[in-house]
Amino acid sequence: MSTMTTKDGTEIFYKDWGKGQPIVFHHGWPLSADDWDNQMMFFLAQGYRVIAHDRRGHGRSSQTSVGNDMDTYAADVAELAEKLDLMNAIHIGHSTGGGEVTRYVAQHARGRVAKAALISAIPPVMVKSEKNPGGLPVEVFDGFRAALAANRAQFYVDLPAGPFYGFNRPGAKVSQGVIDNWWRQGMMGGAKAHYDCIKVFSETDHTADLKKITVPVLAMHSEDDQIVPFADAGPLSAKLLKNSTLKVYKDLPHGMPTTHAEIINADLLAFIKS
């Protein structure tokens, strides 16, 4: 396995395939680099170098009890980018990974990044507050924490079987393999890190980060996203970014890179080549 050890001693697993312009994929909670299998195979065939890592506490990386915060996640990416000497890279993040991309590009890129894409991503901020009245109440995330602490294995069945992939919608074509693969990835990670990450993805405010970013960014979001509600995410991020394109989908689920990979891959490729 390919791994790197961060300055604080955390071991980060990563995949690095092919040659050419690098595309770095950042996964959502509580998954791993494996969630990008379709995209990595697609872009590898298009002649790109494709890279994906397991965030600390997730997948095959160290099951950390500390450092489970967005600043550290982004710093880990910066160390990986330096180790692999990534230049002119495209960074693509889904859900929590979109927050990681935003924080990394804003604070660590130092000319290394050409473009970025945020898919069903958490920025600017998810939780409801006086500054963010359209957000989700903190009780939603408290429910996530309670379910994880009580029976993580069952919670990691219920979420992908329902709203994550839109399998709870009438007429949805349910894939047991997709549900099982979500469960497999989730259960590989550490319960403590996953618990801590709920606060990270719900409460981290990326407003200042979005305003700092100058490279072209594609924000991709569906109006039917049941995990990161559309109105409080993609459109707001696009307004804060200096050089953004907002791609809106009508009926796709939060996990659309998996359920509708052919659509997402084509739109990403068009953006990268534009």
* Active site residues per annotation: 95, 225, 254
Q: Which amino acid is at 137?
A: P
Q: Do 42 and 261 form a contact (C-beta atoms < 8 A)?
A: yes
- Alpha-carbon 239 to chain mean position: 20
Please work out, in degrees rounded to the nearest 5, the angle formed at the alpha carbon of residue 66 by the alpha carbons of 61 and 70: 80
Gap between the Cα atoms of 185 and 58, Å rounded:
8
Q: Is the dihedral of CA 211, 7, 30, 135 positive or negative?
A: negative
Tokens of 259: 């359920």
Gap between the Cα atoms of 48 and 177, Å rounded:
28
Query: Which of 205, 255, 251 lies closest to 228, judged by CA?
Result: 255
Angle between the N-to-C axes of helices 191-203 and 96-107, in degrees from 0 to 180, rounded to the nearest 10: 70
What's the chain's length in residues?
274
CA-to-CA dists, residue 169 to 67, 108, 156, 175, 256, angstroms: 37, 40, 18, 13, 14
